[in-house]
Amino acid sequence: MFIKTIDFSKYSSIKVGQEVEVLMIEKGDILPNDRYIIGGANNLLISSNPVKLMMLSKDFAYIKECDNLLEIGASMPSGRVVSFAKKNNLSNFEFMAKLPGQLGGLIAMNAGVKEYEIFKILHSIKIDNEWVDVSDIDYGYRYARLDGVVTAGRFHINSEYNYSLEESLNALRANQPSTPSAGSAFKNPPNDSAGRLIDSVGLKGYKKGSMAWSEVHANFLVNLGGGKFEDALYLLNLAKKRVFEEFGIKLQEEIKIL
C-alpha cells in the first residue's frame, strides 16, 4: 500500500474538495478497518475535513472468467465493463452504459436504471477477501449492507448484448445535466420523484454561491464553477427542510457526504 494525494476539486465528479491523502490498497494488502473506501468519487461530496480515506489500486481493475462466472475487480470502471460486454457479446450489462463509477461503488449503492439494478445480475461479492452469496446480503433500492470492503464481484455469463435495450435506457437519462454534479442528490421516495418534489418547493435553479439545483433536473446538485462544500450542504439541507414542511416527506441522500 502507498499514499496518494488526490485533488477532489479535479477528481470528483462534482468538482468540490481539496487535496487529500488517500491510502492506496494493492493486491495482497491487509485491508485497514479505520478508513472509508472510495472509488471514482462520482457520488461523493468531500468536506474540508473528511474521514481517513482509502482506495483500491489498479490491481483490482480486471475482468476474468472463473468457474463459469465472470469475475470483475472492484476498481474496474463501468465504461470498461460495458466495452468488455459488447466485445464478447455478453448481456445484462446494458444498464451500466451511462452509469459512471467503478464496480465497487455500483455494488455499494446497488446502482441501476429503473428496474435494472446490479444486484439483480450479481452472483456473489468478495467482501474482506471472502466470497459472499448475494442471497446472504441485505440490499434494496440504492442500498446494500456489505459490512466490509468489496474487492470483486461475480456474474452469471449470458450471451447477446442488447443494443436496443442500451439505447432505450440511455434515453431515460437524456434529461440529466452535463454540468459537474454527483448524480442524483436524493433517493426517489416511494411512488414519487425527488426531482418533482424539489421543483415543487421552488428550488429548481436555486443557487447558493456557485452551487445550484440544476435547471435541467431539480434532483441534481451542480457546480457552476468553484463551488464550495458549505454551499452544497446548505442546498441539500434546504431541500430536505422545504420538502418536509410542504409534503411531510423526508428526503434521503443518495450522494455520500464525507
Active centre residues (catalytic): 142, 184, 254
Paired with 69 in beta bridges are: 66, 156
Decide if 23 contacts 85 (C-beta within 8 A).
Answer: no
The dihedral of CA 231, 232, 237, 241: what is its sign?
A: positive
Measured at the alpha carbon of residue 163, what is the angle toward residues 162 and 167, in degrees to the nearest 5? Answer: 125
| Cα gap 25→30, rounded to integer Å | 8
Q: Spell out a b/e string for 128-142, using b for 16 or more CB atoms within 10 Å of the CB, else e.
A: eeeebebeebebeeb
**All cell numbers assigned to 5:** 494525494
Decide if 70 contacts 157 (C-beta within 8 A).
Answer: yes
